[in-house]
Amino acid sequence: MRPTRRPADPLLCAVAAAQDRADQPGAVFAALDEALKSAIGHKLFTILTYDGATFEAARVYSNLPGPYPTGGRKRLAPGPWTEAVLDSGEAYIGRTQDDLRTVFPDHELIASLGCASVLNMPVRWRGRTLGSLNLLHEAGWYDEDDVAACLPFAQLALPALLLMA
């Protein structure tokens, strides 16, 4: 007798199917945006790439291109956030506006968008953080369960980020 099988997650399947499209990496990034909005929730969603040699980040996707356009690079300052997310590959959860104020220099712009919590989910390959999915929402939105839920989505971003490297 065959064991009972669980159905595949339709949101993960949608992101995986987007990898077949020719318009990369945009197709995967847009699919991640839609899937994560349904699975976890966000008001602002960005994807960053990281260059370990120059210690710079580049925004390669944004669901709000007005206040957070793609393109451009910024140098990251060493500290607890970069050590956790970039060096150790740990997700960062900021639950309040005070948490965001201590980590992000653009905390006022974030607050103006109605966001006061963040989940920064690293995308890892061979022990290195190549980028991150960044979900922002109202205060107290994210917790540790969201880290586990976000992990497979983050890793589905990997081929698109490798394409950009």
Domains of the chain are 38-65+75-164 (3.30.450.40)
pLDDT at 163: 87
- 17 or 7, which is more confident? 17
Please compute the mean of the pLDDT values over residues 17-42 and round it to a whole number: 97
Choose among 51, 16, 43, 44: nearest CA to 31: 16
Please compute the mean of the pLDDT values over residues 38-62 and round it to a whole number: 95
Region of residue 58 (phi > 0: left; psi between -120 and 50: alpha; otherwise: beta): beta
Q: Does the pLDDT value for residue 141 go beyond 80?
A: yes
Burial 100-124 (b: 16+ CB within 10 A, else e): beebbeebeebeeeebbbbbbbbbb
Choose among 155, 132, 147, 154: nearest CA to 40: 147
Q: Does the pLDDT value for residue 50 go beyond 90?
A: yes
Q: Does the pLDDT value for residue 72 go beyond 80?
A: no
Assign 74 a pLDDT band (cuts: 50, 70, 90): confident
* The two three-digit tokens of residue 67, written as one number: 């206040």
Please compute the mean of the pLDDT values over residues 98-111 and round it to a whole number: 94
Assign 75 a pLDDT band (cuts: 50, 70, 90): confident
pLDDT at 6: 85
